[in-house]
Amino acid sequence: MRLFFYLAVLCVIGGLAWIRFAPSDPAYWNVDPHVTADQDLADGVRRRIPGGEAVFERLNGIILATPRTDVLAGSVADGQVTYVTRSKWMGFPDYTTVKLNGDVLELWARLRFGRSDMGVNRDRVEGWLAQLGAGRDS
């Protein structure tokens, strides 16, 4: 009985370690978002944002100010950036790709593990866009 308990604890710890330390392949995650319309999805969100490179630069600053968020690949100068944001306690990674397509930013935020993000990506993106909008009024 004790052996099963220790095996279960080991499996849980191993699973949590995998979630936190699994490598992120930029070739897989830094892809064209292909956003044709705003969408709320079970595993993330897609948004089209009017604006050019100056808006992209401001949004980049807002995203990078988000706790536990880093650039996975790309840059504003490249016209496409993919960010990884990890949840506070469990370290679940979410990926957000922003691409400049003419005078529109295409944004695709999605989870890596699971089937539903319970609206976390939508809330994060809406918060970024609210900050971006607040910056426009100033």
Backbone angles phi, psi at 55, to 5 degrees: -65, -40
Tens of pLDDT, residue by residue over 58-67, are 999 999 999 9
Tens of pLDDT, residue by residue over 14-44, are 877 777 778 899 999 999 999 999 999 999 9
Backbone angles phi, psi at 120, to 5 degrees: -65, -45
Fold of 25-137: TATA-Binding Protein (3.30.310)
Residues 6+ apart with CB under 8 A from 126: none
